[in-house]
Amino acid sequence: MAENTEATQNDQAADNAEKPARPFLKVIKGNPDATQVATLTTLFAVMADQAAGAQQEERERNMWGDISEQLSRPSTFNPNAFRNVQFY
C-alpha cells in the first residue's frame, strides 16, 4: 500500500512539473521582435512594482465620519456671539 501511494504522489508531482506556466504576454495581432517584447515586459514589471509600493505607503488617516463626532453633543446657539453686528 505504501508503495502504491508513493507512486501516485510521484506521478502527480511529475504532472505538475510538466505543465507550462501561463504566458505573461500574448500577442494578438502583429509580429513583434524580441526587443519590443522585452520592452513591454519591463514596462509591466516596473508598473506592478510601483503599484505594490504605493499600496504599502503609510497614509494619513482620514477622520471624516469618526464615531467621536457622533457622540459629542451639538453646540448650542450662543446669543452673545454677534454682539458687534450693527443690525438685528
Q: Which pairs from 43-50 meet CB under 8 Å and 24+ separation?
A: none
User: What are 42-80's pLDDT values in tens digits?
Assistant: 999 999 888 887 776 677 778 887 887 777 776 677 777
**How far is the C-alpha of 80 from the C-alpha of 88, rounded, in Å?**
12
Predicted TM-score (pTM) of the model is: 0.39
Tens digit of each residue's pLDDT (9 = 90 or more) over 12-52: 665 666 777 787 778 889 999 999 989 998 999 999 888 88
Q: Which three cell numbers stand for residue 85?
A: 453686528
